[in-house]
Amino acid sequence: MRRFLVLLPPFAWLLALVAAPVAILAGIALSQGAPGVPPFLPPVSLAAGWQGTLENILTLVQDGYYAGSFLRSLVVAGVSAALCLGLAYPVALGIAAAREGWRVPLLAMVLLPFWTGFLPRLGAWIGLLRDGGWVNGVLTGLGVTAGPLPLLYSDAAMYLGMVHAYLPFAVLPLTATLLRRDLAVEEAAADLGASPWVVFRTVTLPLSLPGAAAAFLLVFIPAAGEFVIPELLGPPEALLVGRVLWAEFFQNRDWPLAAALAVALLVLLIAPIRLFQRLDEGGSRRGASPPSRVGGTAADGRRPGVLR
């Protein structure tokens, strides 16, 4: 009975704030658009049967416009996650190599962008990248370009905004993984003559792969449904699923089709979400019981690596 009372609040929270909204969204996705408030007919009132209720799902499958938006969203999310991961590695390695007293201030600096609003940060990028902004002003003043470059409303500006917004999500799990690695293995490889790049490629990188995968997924999952950054910084032709969903909901007022888009995006992200959960659970198990050393000997009786 005590276990039931302990688990009741989180289960009620999940039911009210996660399961119920998803169920309502799925119900709207199986509805049919109609004039009125709300602008749809519930599935139970449809006379067309199951074919009518699945009309929105069939539209997503058959219409290349929506399939293309999903594909472009996944590509943008993958590229953004790869860029964040590439930039997160030197930052995470630097934090992990720093003295213990410096790690918290360095992590606070990584999280510093979160202390300001999201829209003001994007507004700052707009001011920097516009034709009369600081970046074009510096390039023109130095004679690098004869006139302003079209930096704003481009793929480069969109990816710049994505990396700026999601880089901390890649740095934090990667730093946690690198802090748990055994430095004796790297020092043993260096003692055997391996260069720093070889040590990173053959020792550090394999040991940090679970954290790298978690960092990649932690950026990829929210970036796949991003709307604000492509809308404010991206090119007009960057029709990602977030922008298409917003247009269907607010401009076309086709709530059933917009709900179907949201449900389809959720289904696509179930696999990476589950993979991230498994990686997180595996990392927690590995980090829960590190080998303890007593008198220079590990608890299982093995001698630790030779240190310089």
- Is the pLDDT at 288 greater than 50, yes or no? no
Strand, helix or coil at 257? helix
The predicted structure's pLDDT at residue 171: 94
Q: How far is residue 134's CA from residue 229's CA, in Å, rounded to a whole number?
A: 20
The predicted structure's pLDDT at residue 44: 56
CA 23 to chain centre: 24
Q: Tally the C-alpha atoms within 13 A of residue 157's C-alpha that lie toward its C-beta.
A: 27
- The mean pLDDT value of the chain amounts to 82
Could you confirm whether domain 65-244+267-286 is CATH 3.40.190.10? no
Handedness of CA 211, 212, 215, 221 (dihedral sign): negative
The predicted structure's pLDDT at residue 271: 81
Least confident window among 139-143, 228-232, 256-260, 276-280: 276-280
pLDDT (tens digit per residue) in 191-206: 888 888 898 889 888 8
- Is the pLDDT at 3 greater than 70, yes or no? yes
The predicted structure's pLDDT at residue 279: 66
The predicted structure's pLDDT at residue 89: 94
CA angle 213, 215, 221 (to 5 degrees): 95
The predicted structure's pLDDT at residue 282: 62
What stretch of H or E contains 41?
Answer: strand 40-41
Q: How far is residue 81's CA from residue 169's CA, in Å, rounded to a whole number?
A: 10
Residue ranges in the chain assigned as alpha helix (H): 2-14, 20-29, 50-53, 55-62, 64-97, 100-110, 118-129, 134-141, 155-179, 183-191, 196-199, 205-207, 209-224, 228-233, 241-246, 255-288
- Is the pLDDT at 127 greater than 80, yes or no? yes
The predicted structure's pLDDT at residue 210: 86
Pick the residue with more confidence: 248 or 45? 248
Q: Shortest CA distance to 208 belongs to which of 235, 173, 237?
A: 173
Q: Shortest CA distance to 211 belongs to which of 166, 181, 167?
A: 181
Mean pLDDT of 144-149: 82
Domain range summary for the chain, segments of one domain joined by +: 65-244+267-286
Q: Tell me which DSSP letter residue 44 carries.
A: G
Which of 1-5, 95-99, 295-299 has the largest mean confidence?
95-99
Q: How far is residue 169's CA from residue 294's CA, in Å, rounded to a whole number?
A: 36
147-164 as b/e: b if 16+ CB within 10 A: ebbebbbbeebbbbbbbb
Strand, helix or coil at 107? helix
Q: Tell me which DSSP letter residue 114 carries.
A: G
pLDDT confidence band for 167 (50 / 70 / 90): very high
Residues with Cβ within 8 Å of 141's Cβ and at least 6 positions away in sequence, in order, are none
pLDDT (tens digit per residue) in 20-77: 988 888 888 888 777 777 787 776 544 444 445 677 888 888 888 888 899 999 999 9
| CB distance 84 to 170 below 8 Å | yes
Least confident window among 46-50, 116-120, 241-245: 46-50
The predicted structure's pLDDT at residue 300: 41
- Angstrom CA distances, 193 to 93, 181, 187, 212, 267, stand at 21, 20, 10, 26, 49
pLDDT confidence band for 8 (50 / 70 / 90): confident
By DSSP bridging, strand 32-33 and strand 40-41 are antiparallel
